[in-house]
A and B are shown apart, each in its own frame.
Chain A
Amino acid sequence: MAYYIARRLLLAVPTVLGVCLFTFLLFNIFASPEAIARKQLGKNPTAAQVQTWISSHGMDKPMFFNFERGRDHALHPFDSRFWNHMKELVLFQFPESDYLHEKVSSLLKEKIVPSLTITVPAFLLSILITLPLALFIAYYRGTYLDRTALFVCVILMSIVVLNYIIFGQYFLGIVLKYFPVYGYEFGLGAWRFVLLPIIIAVASGLGGGLRFYRTVMLNEVRADYVRTAMAKGVSEEMILFKHVLKNAMIPILTVTVLSIPFLITGSLLLEMYFGIPGMGNMMLNAISNHDYPVIRVLVYVYSLLYIAGSILTDISYTLVDPRITFK
């Protein structure tokens, strides 16, 4: 297993470097240093100020290799925009946000916990609710219960997330007055504010989740071993939870384990509408304020998380299916 993981990690290196190169080209082709400087320096910066800003951010350096002699009269070929960008990302020496004048690393630390307070419970609750429900629906396939459930699922899937949010805020917050419609409290007090977003996150994912898990279970429920178990008089609960669920784990794990690393990236819409000061909110702000250092760090972090997710998924297969081995 160690050899396999090491190989996967090595294979991930060119992917990560590719992402770094891509983000570098993207931000250096579509935005000139002067445009970035003027955006960050407010309404009326002087030409000298713009120039100073550009040089203080190293944006006046050559793009790939520096063949000019520095102040120490020595050559520093790698003191260029590209290599400095790569160094910052690869060595996790994240730069300062242009807009907020703070280190991106400290912003990341501040935002991860609020995001997790929504995504982790919502993720776990979704699994706890949708999996048993999907098992039952699959077991009672063909009955009016199954058809009704499918009909409801399609309706739930057809409603866009924003409508769940607006309706949830209005109905549960304003009409019934059960939950705060907006806000957050750091520490243990957070539970009051995350309940409604969690309910909405679970409800909005219910239709799609049920349909997916039902399809996965249906393939298993029709298998011969289920018929044999039923013939032997094994109880329905035993068949569903001990045999069917175990055999249907591969596709379930593919979806669930891959999404675990992304729990820390938060939910953009939920965070924005409920005032959760998390990663999704941070990404949105960085985009709207053209805060390029934050955007490129987030793109880099997301790519690392994706790779981590895919490796974790592969490892998890061996845990549920002994036939799978690492080569």
Chain B
Amino acid sequence: MPVLKRFFLMSLLCVIAAGLFACGNNPYPPADGKSINYTALAEDPRTLDPAQVSDTTSAEILDQIYDSLYQNAYLFRPYTVEPALAAGYPEKRIFYEEAREKGVTKKVARMEYTFRLRDDVYFQDDPCFPEGKGRRVTTRDVIYSIKRLADPAVQSTGYWLVAGKIKGMDAFFKKAAATGKADYSLDIEGLSAPDDGTLKITLTEAYPAFIYVMSMPYTAPVAHEAVEYYNAHGREGLSRHPVGTGAFRLKSWKRQHRIVLERNPTYRKEYYPATGAPGDREKGLLDDAGKRLPFVDEVWYTVIPTAQPMWLLFLQGYLDASGIPQEQFDRVITGKLDLSDAFMNKGISLEIGSDLDIYYITFNMRDPVLGKNTYLRQALSLAYDSDLYNQIYLNGRAINAQGPLPPGVFGYDPAFRNPYKTHDVEKAKQLLAKAGYPGGVDSRTGTRLELTYDIGSDSTRAREAATFDMRCFEQLGIKMRLQVNTFSQYLERTMKGTFQMTSGGWLADYPDPENFLQLLYGPNKPPNPNAASFSNPEYDALYERIKTMDDTPERQVLIHRMVAIAVEECPWIFNVHTPSYVLRHSWYKNGKNNSISGNYKKYVRIDVKARSAYCEAENRPDYKIAVYGLILLLALSLPAVVIKYRRRRR
């Protein structure tokens, strides 16, 4: 057969085959009548061992599988905790005992929590249990989980939450560190289980925020049978085989691909809340009040690290909810920060939620130039334009930060205005002159002030943002130098305090102001999270007080004072808080933004019929274009046929 003919035939076959194979763009197999929530993850979870969780992605999955004694109330704002596996709130008792500290015997206050466990909580059915049936959870399982945090073999990322807080915890860790492995038969003085349903925890000092610790996956009950079974030689480990008490259990997990959770058939009786925050009823968030949880049969998490495919899948209806990629923001959101008509007409809704975070520029208080010169730091803060930063890098959606606390946290004062965040370059220049650098020149030596700005990544985004920050400061006549580090170099420099300025951010571990205010607490200086090495005796004393207090008006007054100190001393330039913009399709019911990740999937309901109708209408393949393409291909091949024909005739 002539080769040209063969080639045309092959092309034709390829096109036909492609047409036959192209069987629509649905990325999922048939749901078989199940109600499935399709969602995306920006990265693969690092681990599904609750003691090792440190990233938000792992926490997102773990929270659905492992329930803790407490959980964040789904609808209430500001965030509050409510009992989950616990039968009610804990009893608290403060008592005094004599203790030797630094060679001196003194009376110290201790706090004892008594938790009671529900009697209908069972571990998920799993091969690690006899006959595969999950056994009843006892308070000894909670103790076991807490001990795992101090086991060097576990490499827990949550030990800091209990280190120095639970009586006897440090001694347990020390013994374990000496041998490289914890001995679980050893008791910890501050942990006891008088019976299967009671747990007593003695803290070294009053620490009301401890209830948040008991709502985190770190303290979720873990079955020792699961650890022993899955961590045995030749098995993949507990990090791949979670066995919890949550509304969902792991069905399958293919790394960098997909995680499927399925409804836990032995889940305790739990019902959708009947009360919520103001406005929730009007939004239909209480329509399912009193119904048994969870609503969906399965949750499919697809790992999608890039924004483009995530966005396309959302538009096709193959993802139930999505964030808004930066490059799409102007198309989706109007100038008034509303959803554009094109999206509203598709039945898509927008929720703007406040994330508990803060982004800031850190001054190194150990630096001889910046650390001792408050006027200089204040001048730099005044020169910084957070609003412009917000417009350029965050599509104008962020909130200009006035202090270390984000909105939604106890103690946040919406009326408070930071006098050094007014972006007033003239005033900044005056302060700079007061600082000893009129026009940016050192009045003693006559040399121009030069400051170094450190970044920990060579990415374009990091360079651009740093350049923006430096431009703001250069308006004052200061010379800025950019120091680009590898991540490890950056970590070293911040740990050793050998930098001058850098940017930073913090996302809340739990919704208590203490979690943010500790970032400027003197004893927390590097390598701990106080990267600025800020130390102020009044601030530190106040921190030690608010740490032990409940959310009372008195605590609020003290927090306001701490914020005022931080603002006046200016160890940071408080930059922005970033609210999250979430889009949801009409079939996604009961959606409410949760910035403190929690077990929220059990509240989600999916209207499967509405989704099918949308997907069918949006995703009907258009074969006409393929036919036109084929005709075009044949037409383009025609000259070759002509040449061939002519040559043969010759």
Q: Contacting chain A: which of B253-261, B561-569, B600-608?
A: B253-261
Q: Which residues of B contact A183 (CB under 8 A)?
A: 27-28, 302
- What 1/0 mask marks residues of chain B from 477 to 505 whose CB sits below 8 Å from any chain A CB? 00000000011110110010000000000
Residue B313 lies at the interface, judged by CB distance under 8 Å to chain A? yes
| Contact between chains at B54 and A43 (CB < 8 Å) | yes
Q: Contacting chain A: which of B91-99, B101-109, B154-162?
A: B154-162
| Contact between chains at B313 and A181 (CB < 8 Å) | yes
Q: Which of A40, A46, A199 has the most CB of B within 10 A?
A: A46
Partner of B52, one of A101, A107, A111, A241: A101
A135 and chain B: residue at smallest CB distance:
B3
| Contact between chains at A240 and B643 (CB < 8 Å) | no
Partner of A195, one of B18, B159, B255, B258: B18
- What 1/0 mask marks residues of chain A from 210 to 241 whose CB sits below 8 Å from any chain B CB? 00000000000000000000000000110011
Q: Give chain B's interface residue range (CB within 8 Å of chain A).
A: 35 or more
| Contact between chains at A275 and B152 (CB < 8 Å) | no
Residue B528 lies at the interface, judged by CB distance under 8 Å to chain A? yes
Known: A39-B487, A110-B255, A275-B303. A182 touches B313 (CB 8 A): yes
| Contact between chains at A102 and B495 (CB < 8 Å) | no
Whole-angstrom distance between the alpha carbons of A273 and B4 in the complex? 36
- What 1/0 mask marks residues of chain B from 144 to 187 whose CB sits below 8 Å from any chain A CB? 00000000110111111001000000000110010010000000
- What 1/0 mask marks residues of chain B from 27 to 61 whose CB sits below 8 Å from any chain A CB? 11100000000000001101101001010000000
Whole-angstrom distance between the alpha carbons of A321 and B212 in the complex? 74
Q: Which of A102, A111, A174, A183 has the most CB of B within 10 A?
A: A183
Residue B366 lies at the interface, judged by CB distance under 8 Å to chain A? no
Known: A42-B157, A174-B315, A176-B625. A30 touches B47 (CB 8 A): no
Residue A41 lies at the interface, judged by CB distance under 8 Å to chain B? yes
| Contact between chains at A44 and B160 (CB < 8 Å) | yes
| Contact between chains at A273 and B24 (CB < 8 Å) | no
Whole-angstrom distance between the alpha carbons of A77 and B93 in the complex? 56
| Contact between chains at B152 and A181 (CB < 8 Å) | no
| Contact between chains at B236 and A106 (CB < 8 Å) | yes
Q: Which residues of B contact A178 (CB under 8 A)?
A: 18-19, 22, 24-25, 621, 626
- A163 CB to nearest B CB, Å: 12
| Contact between chains at A189 and B29 (CB < 8 Å) | yes
Q: Which residues of A contact B19 (CB under 8 A)?
A: 178
Q: Which of A32, A36, A136, A180 has the most CB of B within 10 A?
A: A180
Known: A180-B26, A184-B257, A237-B3. A170 touches B312 (CB 8 A): yes
- A319 CB to nearest B CB, Å: 24
Residue B475 lies at the interface, judged by CB distance under 8 Å to chain A? no
Q: Which of B22, B258, B304, B639 has the most CB of A within 10 A?
A: B22
Partner of A35, one of B156, B491, B626: B491
Residue B308 lies at the interface, judged by CB distance under 8 Å to chain A? yes
| Contact between chains at A182 and B309 (CB < 8 Å) | yes
Q: Which residues of B contact A174 (CB under 8 A)?
A: 25, 312, 315-316
| Contact between chains at A39 and B491 (CB < 8 Å) | yes
Residue B353 lies at the interface, judged by CB distance under 8 Å to chain A? no
Known: A32-B488, A48-B174, A191-B21. A38 touches B527 (CB 8 A): yes
Chain A at the B interface: SS class: helix
| Residues 620-650 of B at the A interface (beta carbon under 8 Å) | 620-622, 625-626, 639-640, 643, 647
A51 and chain B: residue at smallest CB distance:
B177
Counted as pairs of residues, one from A and one from B, with CB atoms less than 8 Å apart, the total is 196
- B508 CB to nearest A CB, Å: 11
Known: A43-B157, A53-B155, A182-B304. A145 touches B177 (CB 8 A): no
Whole-angstrom distance between the alpha carbons of A38 and B456 in the complex? 15
| Contact between chains at B643 and A145 (CB < 8 Å) | yes
Q: Which residues of B contact A114 (CB under 8 A)?
A: 257
| Contact between chains at A285 and B492 (CB < 8 Å) | no
Q: Which residues of B contact A31 (CB under 8 A)?
A: 486, 488
| Contact between chains at A169 and B639 (CB < 8 Å) | no
B153 and chain A: residue at smallest CB distance:
A56
Residue B305 lies at the interface, judged by CB distance under 8 Å to chain A? yes
Whole-angstrom distance between the alpha carbons of A193 and B312 in the complex? 15
B151 and chain A: residue at smallest CB distance:
A52
| Contact between chains at B155 and A32 (CB < 8 Å) | no
Residue A185 lies at the interface, judged by CB distance under 8 Å to chain B? yes
Partner of A182, one of B180, B236, B312: B312
| Contact between chains at B46 and A100 (CB < 8 Å) | yes
| Contact between chains at B155 and A56 (CB < 8 Å) | yes
Known: A179-B22, A180-B27, A281-B256. A52 touches B152 (CB 8 A): yes
Whole-angstrom distance between the alpha carbons of A50 and B528 in the complex? 11
Whole-angstrom distance between the alpha carbons of A237 and B648 in the complex? 12
- What 1/0 mask marks residues of chain B from 334 to 357 whose CB sits below 8 Å from any chain A CB? 000000000000000000000000
Q: Which residues of A contact B491 (CB under 8 A)?
A: 35, 38-39
Q: Which of A44, A145, A174, A284 has the most CB of B within 10 A?
A: A44
Residue A306 lies at the interface, judged by CB distance under 8 Å to chain B? no
Residue B529 lies at the interface, judged by CB distance under 8 Å to chain A? yes
Whole-angstrom distance between the alpha carbons of A265 and B245 in the complex? 39
| Contact between chains at B255 and A181 (CB < 8 Å) | no
Known: A101-B52, A177-B620, A185-B29. A46 touches B157 (CB 8 A): no
Whole-angstrom distance between the alpha carbons of A179 and B240 in the complex? 31
- What 1/0 mask marks residues of chain A from 126 to 146 whose CB sits below 8 Å from any chain B CB? 000000100010001001110
Residue A47 lies at the interface, judged by CB distance under 8 Å to chain B? yes
- What 1/0 mask marks residues of chain A from 142 to 176 whose CB sits below 8 Å from any chain B CB? 01110000000000000000000010011001111
A240 and chain B: residue at smallest CB distance:
B3
Residue B396 lies at the interface, judged by CB distance under 8 Å to chain A? no
- For the complex of A and B, the 7 pairs showing the least CB-CB separation, nearest first, are A42-B54, A42-B157, A178-B22, A183-B27, A31-B488, A182-B309, A277-B257
If A48-B174, A169-B309 are given as contacts, then 8 extra A-B residue pairs at C-beta distance below 8 Å, sorted by A number, are: A39-B488, A44-B529, A47-B527, A145-B640, A176-B22, A180-B25, A192-B23, A275-B302
Please name 9 pairs of A and B residues whose Cβ atoms are closer than 8 Å in the assembled complex, sorted by A. Answer: A35-B488, A36-B488, A38-B491, A144-B639, A176-B22, A178-B22, A182-B302, A193-B27, A272-B305
